[in-house]
Amino acid sequence: MPKIQGSKNSEEPDIQKAFEEEIKKPYYQVDYLDNFKLPYDKLDVSAVIITYNRCPYKPRTLKENNNPLVWAIKTILLQKPSIKEIIIADDKSDDYTEAIVRKYQEYSRENNLTKIVYIKAKQRRGISAIRNIGAKQASGKYIMFIDDDCFIPPYTIFGAVYTFEELEKKGIKVGAVNIPTYNRSTSPSRALPKKEIGLLDFVKGIYKSNKDAFPEEYLNPEFNSQKFLNSELQILNPFQILNLNTTALISKNVFEQVGGFPEHLLRRMEDREFGCRINENGYSIYFQPDPKFHCAHGAYGLKIGKKFTGTDWFKKLDKTISLKKAMEICDNPQENTGARIDSEEYLYESILTFFCLVYDRNKKGAVKWIKKVYNEFVKQGQTGLFGNGNIPVPTESERRKIWIKSLNEGLKFIRQKEKNDIKKIDSAIKQFKEKSESSEKIINIMEGL
C-alpha cells in the first residue's frame, strides 16, 4: 500500500490507516452499482478517442489484444448504461489501426452494440486538432474524451454524467467533469487535501494535477454528512478544480462555445488552456474523485518501471488480457506512437507551454513559474513539478540549456501572438474611422478581436 501525502497538521500514521481502510470499502468496487436500477436507459454521450499508431499487431491474431486501442474500445463497449457512439479520430496512423477499427465496427454492428465512427486524417494534425475533428463529429449531448491507452470501468461514463446533471440541478453552470486518472493502477495512490488536486494558480505560477489522489477530507468521520452526492448509490461528492485534463466529460454546447482545444500551442498543456477557456466563459470544472469511476492510464511506450497496482477487474470481464500484462506492455519504450517524445523534449515543452499559458493571464505569475523551474529543476534536478517524477534527469548543464531554450521560444511565441493581436486592433480602429458602419458591423468587428 503506497504511503499518502497528508497535510502538515495531520498525524501521518492515523491518516495512512484511515486511507487504507477507506479504499477497501465495498462501494468503491467497480461492480458496486450492478445491483441498482440506474436513472438512465442510455447515455447521450459521444466517446471520442484520438489515436496514433497504437495498433502494432494485426487483427485476428494472437497478439491482437496487445494493441492499446483495443483496450479503450472494449472498455467503452462495456459501459453501463451504453452510450450513443464511439468516435475514433486517427491522426494518420501507419500501423494496423484502421484494420482493427474496421473489425470492431463490424463486431458492434453484428451484436447491436454502440456505433463506432472512424475518421482518419489525411495528414498529421496533432493532439488538439485531431481532438477537435473528432468532437465536431459528435452527435451526443456530452463528449467523453478517453485516451487510446486507457481502461475505464463499466460505470465510469455514467458516474460522470450523473455528477454533471446533479450539479446542474443545484443551479451550477458546469462545463466539465474530470474523473480520477490512475497511472498504471486501478486505485488511488495517496490522499491529499482537496486544494492540492487540480490546482492551477496564475498568481503563484503553479499547476498540479494529482488526479491519482484521494481527497484527504473524505477520510474525516466528521465529513460523512457531506461525503456523498447520492447516499443510496454511494457516489462521492465532487469538488471544484481549475486544472482540467482530458479524461473528462464535457458538454458539447460548452465545447462549441469555447472554440474547442487550442491548436496554436505545442503538445503539452492544451487541456489546461481548454480548461481555462471553460472557466473564463463562466462555467465550472468539477472533479469526481470516486474510485469506481476511475481511468487506468497505461502511458504506452513510456518506460517508468512502475508495476501495476490495484484490482485486475478487466480480466474478470473480458478474459483476453489482464491489466497487469497490459501495463507491462506499456512500459516498453516506443517513439512513433501517440504523443510520445523523449524526456528532454517533454521537459522543454512542459516549461514552455505553461509559461505561455500563464503569461497571457498573469505576467508576474509567469516569472514566478520560471524561477520555480530554475530552483527546483535546474538547480535541484526535480521533475515532479512537471507532473511526472519518474522522468530521467539530465545533467545540470543540460537542464540549464532546456530552461533557456524554453524561455527563448516562449518569448518568441508571445511576441508573435502580440503582433497578431496588434494587427487585429489596428484593423478595427481603421474600420471604426468609416462613417457608415452599422451597429451590427461594429459588433462583428469586436467579435473578430
Nearest Cα neighbor of 151 from 45, 71, 70 is: 71
Domain boundaries, the chain: 12-330, 343-431
Model confidence band, residue 2 (pLDDT cutoffs 50, 70, 90): very low
The CA-atom distances, in angstroms, between 235 and each of 214, 230, 293, 331, 372 are 14, 5, 9, 33, 38
Question: What is the 8-class DSSP label of residue 431?
Answer: H
235 Cα distance to chain centroid: 21
What pLDDT sits at residue 302?
85
442 vs 71, which has greater pLDDT?
71
Cα–Cα dist 406/356, whole Å: 10
Residue 4, pLDDT score:
42
DSSP 8-state secondary structure symbol assigned to residue 57: S
What is the model's pLDDT at position 6?
A: 44
User: What is the reported pLDDT for 262?
Assistant: 85
For 65, the grid coordinates are 489484444
Residue percentage of the chain with pLDDT more than 70: 92
Say which residue, 8 or 96, is predicted with more confidence. Answer: 96
Separation CA 311–CA 62 (nearest Å):
25
Which residues share a beta bridge with 89?
50, 119
The average pLDDT across 108-124 equals: 96
Q: List the single range of 285-289, 321-325, 389-393 with lowest mean pLDDT.
A: 389-393
Give kind and range of the element (H or E) at residue 285. Answer: strand 284-287
Average pLDDT over residues 217-235: 93
**pLDDT greater than 80 at residue 350:** yes
Given this model, what pLDDT does residue 303 score? 85
Give me the helices (H) in 25-140, please. Answer: 68-77, 97-110, 127-136
- If you search the block for the grid coordinates 473480458, which residue do you land on? 318
CB count within 10 Å of CB 317 equals: 14
Q: Confidence class of residue 435 from pLDDT cuts 50, 70 and 90?
A: low
Collapse the DSSP code of 332 into the 3-class scheme (helix H, G, I; strand E, B; otherwise coil) and give the result.
coil
pTM to 2 decimals?
0.89
Q: Which CATH superfamily is domain 12-330 in?
A: Spore Coat Polysaccharide Biosynthesis Protein SpsA; Chain A (3.90.550.10)
State residue 13's pLDDT score: 64
329 vs 308: CA distance, rounded Å: 11
For the segment 427-440, the average pLDDT, to the nearest whole number, is 70
Mean pLDDT, the chain, as a whole number? Answer: 90
* Distance separating alpha carbons of residues 92 and 337, to the nearest angstrom: 11
Exposed, middle or buried: residue 7 (CB in 10 Å: 0-12, 13-18, 19+)?
middle
- Residue 437: its pLDDT value, please? 61
- pLDDT for residue 93 is more than 70: yes
pLDDT at 264 over 80: no
Q: What is the pLDDT of residue 340?
A: 67
pLDDT at 384: 82
Q: How far apart are CA 395 and CA 190, in angstroms?
A: 30
